[in-house]
Amino acid sequence: MKYLLQLQQDIAAKLKTSRDNTE
């Protein structure tokens, strides 16, 4: 369960980074 939470946070961080790079 802890692994899934960490994975979700990693994906969210990647999405945020992609958005920041796009704008």
What's the start-to-end Cα distance of the chain, in Å? 33
pLDDT tens for each residue of 3-15: 999 999 999 999 9
pLDDT at 22 over 90: no
Question: Which sign does the torsion angle of CA 8, 9, 12, 18 carry?
Answer: negative
Q: How far is CA 16 from CA 7, 8, 12, 20, in A?
A: 14, 12, 6, 6
Q: Give Dmax over CA atoms of the chain in angstroms.
A: 33
pTM of structure? 0.55
